[in-house]
Each structure stands twice: as C-alpha cells, then as structure tokens.
C-alpha cells in the first residue's frame, strides 16, 4: 500500500476512534469531600482536573495526603468550579442550590449524589461514578474490598451484645434512624438509643430524657478538646456514662465520611466497644 494511502487510512481510523476516546470525561472536578473520596478511588489521575476546596485539609478530608497531588478549587461556588473547564462535575444533594443551578446553566455535565446513609448507598454511588468514568471494573474491585472488610468485621462481632450508644456533640442534635451514625452502629456492634426511642434523622437532643435512656457509651467526633466541650454541657455531664469516662472519640473526617472510607469508622468503633474481640 502506498504511503499516502496508509496515512489516509490512519487518519480515517483516528476519526473513528476520537468519539470513543472522548466518550468518558477527562477533566472531572469534584465539588465536595465525599465525591473527592469516590473520584480518587476510581479515576485515572489524568481524569482529575480538581478536587474540593477543603480536599487538602486533613481536618476535613480522610484522603488529604492523596488529594494533595491534585489542584483544589478555590471555593465551593460555581465560578471556582468552572475555572477548571470541567467536562464533568461531581456534587452532592447538600451542595448549595444556587451553585447547582449555575453549573446546570453553564451546560456542564453534572452528577449529583444524593444517597449516603448506608453502605449500599455508597456502593450505588461507586457504580454510578464507575460508569461515568469508564471505570466499572475498578468500582467493582473497591466494592469487593469493602465487602471483604465488612464481612471480616461482622465475623469478629458475631454474637456480641450490642452496646447502648448515643451520638453526642457540642450542637444540640443527636442522630436517629436514617443517618450515617445509625449505619455506623449497625456495623460496629452498637445499639443507637436515639433510634430505639423513635428519633428519625438528626433531631434535637431531648436533654431531660437522656437519664432514662440508659446510655452506656457516648460517641463523638473530634479529639480531647471535644471531651472538655461536652463536659461543659449539663445534660452530658450528668450522664453516668460520661462521669465514668465512657466516651469514644473518632476523628471527624472518619466519622463524617459519606464514602467507602467510613468502614474505618466501623472498625474503630467496634474496637472501642468490643476490645475483647480484637486481642
């Protein structure tokens, strides 16, 4: 075949291939910490244009060290996102509505994740994002790793008596059913007393009733400063569990994770509540 014919054939094949090469996004911007965690787990590094504005801060992000390899948007607003000329933006249902509206108006493809309460919700998000990125096999591999860890933890906790716990914080809310805290309890050998009495979602802490809920352990996010802050709140200070020092503190990014990284919180809480199963 003449050289000119080969060149024309190559150009023709390249034209056919271009739509396939462009079929998956190559400049993805993540607008929240939770979507950062999913994107870092699934995407090729070359697909990531930027991560959330707090992605590099270990105070908020459990993947801050890995995120440091990539640019971060200046703020969470639409203008900061669009500066990176994304072909896909990842956001969450708790993203400010005006930001979502501006991104939609800009015509950029937008995926908004809206279910985070259970590990099954996270598996759904991993599969959705895997399809968007053309990384379905990687998504299934991450899910398989999660299932293996959760299965191993369940085997260790088999037959334990659930510990009666309550989520505590410096804000006057506790977590009942349909929350990530309930999911944490479901995997860590704990009974959420707020759910037991019928609280749903994040509800005001009924301080006058706490004494009759028979709370065995308080669970909070943060470090030792959190202990001092809780001690300043009368209804926690009066609880026998708090007086006895039965308070489990989990790192904030771990406890608040809305991705597969929350499994680390399952494991940490289970170790704290059932140390005899981890010797």
pLDDT at site 5: 56
pLDDT at site 13: 38
Q: Can you tell me the distance from the alpha carbon of 178 to that of 117, in angstroms, rounded to the nearest whole number?
A: 6
pLDDT at site 201: 94
Nearest to 264 by CA among 190, 192, 184: 184
Average pLDDT, the chain: 91
pLDDT at site 171: 84
**DSSP at 200:** B
pLDDT at site 135: 97
For each of the chain's 279 residues, which pLDDT tens digit applies? 455 554 454 444 344 334 444 589 999 999 999 999 999 999 999 999 999 999 999 999 999 999 999 999 999 999 999 999 999 999 999 999 999 999 999 999 999 999 888 999 999 999 999 999 999 999 999 999 999 999 999 999 999 999 999 999 888 889 999 999 999 999 999 999 999 999 999 998 887 788 889 999 999 998 889 999 999 998 898 899 999 999 999 999 999 899 999 999 999 999 999 999 999
Copy the structure tokens of residue 186: 């479901």
Q: Can you tell me the distance from the alpha carbon of 116 to that of 121, in angstroms, rounded to the nearest whole number?
A: 5
Copy the structure tokens of residue 74: 């200046």
pLDDT at site 242: 93
pLDDT digit string, tens, across residues 148-180: 999 999 999 999 999 999 999 888 889 999 999
Q: Can you tell me the distance from the alpha carbon of 61 to that of 55, in angstroms, rounded to the nearest whole number?
A: 6
Copy the structure tokens of residue 158: 């088999």
Q: Can you tell me the distance from the alpha carbon of 87 to that of 130, in angstroms, rounded to the nearest whole number?
A: 16
Q: Can you tell me the distance from the alpha carbon of 199 to that of 123, in angstroms, rounded to the nearest whole number?
A: 26
pTM: 0.86
Q: Can you tell me the distance from the alpha carbon of 277 to that of 279, in angstroms, rounded to the nearest whole number?
A: 6
pLDDT at site 206: 82
Copy the structure tokens of residue 181: 């805290």
Angle formed at CA 44 by CA 268 and CA 14, multiple of 5 degrees: 165
């Amino acid at each position: 075949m003449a050289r000119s014919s080969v060149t024309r054939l190559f150009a023709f094949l390249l034209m056919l291939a271009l739509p396939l090469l462009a079929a998956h996004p190559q400049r993805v911007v993540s607008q929240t910490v939770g979507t950062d965690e999913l994107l870092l787990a699934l995407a090729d590094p070359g697909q990531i244009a930027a991560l959330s504005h707090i992605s590099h801060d270990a105070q908020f992000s459990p993947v801050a060290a890995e995120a440091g390899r990539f640019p971060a948007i200046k703020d969470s607003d639409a203008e900061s996102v669009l500066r990176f000329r994304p072909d896909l933006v990842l956001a969450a249902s708790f993203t400010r509505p005006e930001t979502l509206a501006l991104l939609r108006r800009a015509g950029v493809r937008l995926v908004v994740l809206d279910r985070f309460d259970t590990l099954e919700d996270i598996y759904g998000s991993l599969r959705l994002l895997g399809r968007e990125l053309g990384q379905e096999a990687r998504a299934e591999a991450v899910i398989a790793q999660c299932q293996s860890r959760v299965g191993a933890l369940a085997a260790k906790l088999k037959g334990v008596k659930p510990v009666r716990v309550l989520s505590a914080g410096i804000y006057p809310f506790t977590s009942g059913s349909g929350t990530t805290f309930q999911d944490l309890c479901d995997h860590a050998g704990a009974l959420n007393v707020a759910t037991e009495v019928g609280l749903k979602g994040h509800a005001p802490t009924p301080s006058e009733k706490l004494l009759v809920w028979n709370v065995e352990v308080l669970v909070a996010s943060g470090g030792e400063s959190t202990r001092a802050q809780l001690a300043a709140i009368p209804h926690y200070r009066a609880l026998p569990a708090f007086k006895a020092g039965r308070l489990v503190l989990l790192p904030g990014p771990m406890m608040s994770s809305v991705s597969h990284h929350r499994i680390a919180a399952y494991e940490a809480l289970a170790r704290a509540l059932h140390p005899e199963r981890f010797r």
